[in-house]
Structure 1
């Protein structure tokens, strides 16, 4: 295995151009000093936010400070990510973090001061043409007003903040540091210590005994700690209920959805609609059982690949070319900007010594977005490229068409553009391939995305809803109760072709997302919205493309649900989920046909 190249050995054309953000360190230092001075001017507004003139001037200064701070933070961290071992940029990254905290403290008076105004005064400010750039911000403040308490109470809640982190912190420590997993035999018969990272590798093993032993060992470990883990999850649920009552929300679920102004129906619709389509998941599970040639399909058989890894060697240049072909349905305007991204230093392509792992899209308003990759010549890396460029294009078009304050889109919308690119790329690859084995590999890859991103995350979302409702009605969440609820959901979701092992009842104990409550549904809605968009684009063409580009240009200028609605995806109805399910049904149909071809 050859050593990784040093940063300096990576060709310039394969590196991102961070000089588009700052020419050099001196330019960064100069802007840092500028921000420090601007922050000092903020105190001039404290205690004076009573009229449109003062509020406008304060918001403008806040925007200037936030934008410059964002540029400093993004640059320092991206330089740090080029080589995490370089002490210069470790230091710069720390300096930028401290500045962000300091700015947060200095700006914290703005919202409470404006919220101290009466509802009438706030409505007048929203209607004031001088504040038209800040209309959405003021509408948000007005919407939150009923849930904001007096200054004394807010100060008290802020102090409780650290205590409220306890359930999550304790779970993290227990799950990542204190839980000790036993040794299990790997494919070679060697005794290896089980870990979170190795668990999925074991479940992907062709050797069924390896899979089964890892599965049993994993849940046995959690079962031995079930009382502590149930108490921790219970504490988290109690915390959510406490905050929802104090802030006068009807339920913990509605409090969680309030941040993005998402109606409760979006959440309940997702669960109800997925229930209707469970027979499709059951059909896929039946197919999986048949393809693996098993008399009984167990929970530990869900991750083993259905077809041998197809050797698809795809260089970066080929990946770029294929991604461009894949997203062609989005039209020339989209493709031209995408080409700019490939040509003009948006992307940091290859791994080098010390470089941050994984992939992301990031950037600061006023400069093009950036994408960090660690490209390997395989199918996964090509999908990662399509995914991250989807994010980058969303950011670019939002920034080009919105003011700084309105450009930032919410997490609820964030995964739509990235997943849509993957869906179009998949459609293109499936239409192009002539090799049944390659086709089966692609179909399985896609079907498993539906299983894990839509069905599994919806099951998690339903579990969270049930346990919060039980606690809200005064019921105790004992380890037995949690396990029973979780086991029943698994039986319901996986159907009669699945032998639902009793051990799976302990899976609730190892899901970190349950400590970021009511979050996972966004994976399922984002995936469904993207699949719905891709279906409309491929079937309708131009009108659907126009609506979709309108979505990309909207940033965060309106509420997420309304931005999607204008673009033709109404998440308050079952339709987008139904459209996604029709795509899933086509995939299963294609898989069944391809099985016949492979056998023939």
Structure 2
């Protein structure tokens, strides 16, 4: 008997409603606990024994874990419907309280950083603090960039009405947008952003163009606003860099994300030298379609001898995903099934829903996944991607305490891309007697990798230009439009027509607003995932223990060393990047041979 899965999540593991009295009670209790922590430890951190430092750290972990519960509930409700005013109001209150708590306890890391180097080194080596060695190393590395406590407190408070407020404004504004309806030749009408995005996979070129321009008409109408927000965010980063002594926004983010600068530039140079792969693929696709590919056509289906059914309803998609994960590990499958059984997934399309997809992890509880499932393969792979994050955090949750639970960004994306590869292999095997469907799936993998490797690194090239320009002074939306168009044209060459509407497309990329230089890490993670998957195909079950150890490591150790230790991948070597690009070239060879 077929199982029917709910498309809306159940957040009752957190609270029973925005008016649940426990939420306000918890916020008040956490404020009291933060005040008590300050009274107990402020001015005394240098006197504490290693055992006492460990107790203090564990107290902070308990505090922040429960702040996470309070924050997660309204933020998840708001993400599911950004028009929900009560959710936004409660979220604002929680963020205000969290900032007050942070200001109460930030002295602890500041006092640790003020310890003499030999004293901090002794703490790192103490047996009682072995589980927190990496946490203390992060404290040490941040030492040169910390400000006095009063300044840090002001900085935190100002963020609520400064940079963070502008980031929130973009989310609220985009959630309130309405789009020109697009009706397909089949007679269905799309009005929501997710529905219009799904039409980019439609076989009819005019339908794709209309869906593409419907979204970008709204971005163009509000181009000045989004440019103003991005400039404000970039200028705030510039001012913070000056205050703290960071050489640049890039340097600041590389420090936070534990990525050596050489790895960043190897990725940027390595991808730029292989634009030919992107252009070769889309040149070939244009030939198959009988017209030059436009930016609205990059996801268009390839022509096939027989019609291919690419409709995958939600229930069937879940069953396929669970079966694919079960072939890798039965434990992997059973843990994935919990997400649907316990309703930790919100896949329903609705007006006002936050665009894109995410996995929100609440340490001590579980993860919640958000996406807008459009009953197609693209949505299924998005579900697999976010489930990869959820599984990653499931292993972290069993192995790590709060301060060790947040994996650096490159590691954070490995399990998600790996999950997509597991799903693809399973679907290809299921379609062994359907060459046209196999081609559809192979195309999906190629286009996904081209996006992760080339589009995402191009977004980071835009950020380089934005933050370099911010150092010189303010910029406007025209600067961003022009720069984005030029960079995308360099990537596309003569293979893809960059439509004029594409100039405003950057406003859809949330990461450039709320997490600078995140996007190249998708490229890095794709490289690592391809390397891991090649090893899995070669080693079989013998690969799995090391891979699961990598996931369980979370943020407990330096990520480049963890990759070498557990799965034998060295991202500091340019050859690793080159091999991943060669793998993509091989996929294109395979596709061309099937035509």
- Give the TM-score, by structure 2 length: 0.78
8 Å contact 1:360–1:371 — kept in the other structure?
A: yes
Counterpart-to-counterpart distance in 2, 1:87 and 1:173: 13
Is the aligned partner of 1:336 residue 2:331? Answer: yes
The 1:538–1:85 alpha-carbon spacing in structure 2 relative to 1, beyond 3 Å, is: same
Aligned-residue offset at 1:143: 0.7
Q: Which has the higher mean CA deviation after the structures are superposed, 518-527 or 507-516?
A: 507-516
Extract unaligned runs of 5+ from structure 1: 1-9, 596-600
Aligned to 1:268, the other structure's residue is in SS state: helix
Aligned to 1:521, the other structure's residue is in SS state: helix
Map of 1:458 onto structure 2? 457
Counterpart-to-counterpart distance in 2, 1:459 and 1:422: 22
Aligned to 1:541, the other structure's residue is in SS state: helix
8 Å contact 2:266–2:574 — kept in the other structure?
A: yes
Map of 1:252 onto structure 2? 249
Map of 1:131 onto structure 2? 129
Residue 297 of structure 1, aligned match among 276, 293, 299:
293
Residue 422 of structure 2, aligned match among 407, 415, 424:
424
8 Å contact 1:167–1:236 — kept in the other structure?
A: no
Counterpart-to-counterpart distance in 1, 2:521 and 2:41: 38
Is the aligned partner of 1:527 residue 2:526? Answer: yes
Cα displacement string for residues 194-232 of structure 1 (whole angstroms, at most 9, x for unaligned residues):
996676467555554565577678778877887776666
1:281-292 map, 5 Å = 281-292=278-289
Is the aligned partner of 1:242 residue 2:239? Answer: yes
Map of 2:573 onto structure 1? 573
Q: Which has the higher mean CA deviation after the structures are superposed, 18-27 or 397-406?
A: 18-27
Extract unaligned runs of 5+ from structure 2: none
Map of 1:59 onto structure 2? 57
Map of 1:584 onto structure 2? 584
Map of 1:440 onto structure 2? 439
Q: Which has the higher mean CA deviation after the structures are superposed, 260-269 or 342-351?
A: 342-351
The 1:375–1:275 alpha-carbon spacing in structure 2 relative to 1, beyond 3 Å, is: closer
The 1:501–1:161 alpha-carbon spacing in structure 2 relative to 1, beyond 3 Å, is: same
Counterpart-to-counterpart distance in 2, 1:86 and 1:290: 47
The count of residues paired between Structure 1 and Structure 2 equals: 579
Residue 267 of structure 2, aligned match among 260, 265, 270:
270
Counterpart-to-counterpart distance in 2, 1:593 and 1:59: 58
Counterpart-to-counterpart distance in 2, 1:503 and 1:88: 35
Counterpart-to-counterpart distance in 2, 1:91 and 1:216: 33
Is the aligned partner of 1:538 residue 2:545? Answer: no
Cα displacement string for residues 316-358 of structure 1 (whole angstroms, at most 9, x for unaligned residues):
675555435434564xxx4235325536945557878999888
8 Å contact 2:459–2:519 — kept in the other structure?
A: yes
Counterpart-to-counterpart distance in 1, 2:61 and 2:87: 26
Cα displacement string for residues 241-266 of structure 1 (whole angstroms, at most 9, x for unaligned residues):
33223322222211121112211122
1:80-159 map, 5 Å = 100=98, 103-155=101-153, 157-158=155-156
The 1:209–1:30 alpha-carbon spacing in structure 2 relative to 1, beyond 3 Å, is: closer
Aligned-residue offset at 1:140: 1.1
8 Å contact 1:398–1:552 — kept in the other structure?
A: yes
Counterpart-to-counterpart distance in 2, 1:486 and 1:506: 8
- Give the TM-score, by structure 1 length: 0.78
8 Å contact 1:410–1:560 — kept in the other structure?
A: yes
Counterpart-to-counterpart distance in 2, 1:418 and 1:466: 29
Aligned-residue offset at 1:489: 2.2
Map of 1:7 onto structure 2? none
Cα displacement string for residues 39-67 of structure 1 (whole angstroms, at most 9, x for unaligned residues):
45322222222223343332222223333
8 Å contact 2:324–2:422 — kept in the other structure?
A: yes
Map of 1:594 onto structure 2? 594
8 Å contact 1:347–1:371 — kept in the other structure?
A: no
Map of 1:48 onto structure 2? 44
8 Å contact 1:186–1:202 — kept in the other structure?
A: no
Map of 1:4 onto structure 2? none
Counterpart-to-counterpart distance in 2, 1:449 and 1:233: 27
Q: Supply the RMSD in Å over aligned alpha carbons.
A: 4.9
Counterpart-to-counterpart distance in 1, 2:169 and 2:369: 33
Decide which structure has the larger Cα Rg and report it. Answer: 1
8 Å contact 2:103–2:153 — kept in the other structure?
A: no
The 1:101–1:432 alpha-carbon spacing in structure 2 relative to 1, beyond 3 Å, is: same
8 Å contact 2:384–2:420 — kept in the other structure?
A: yes
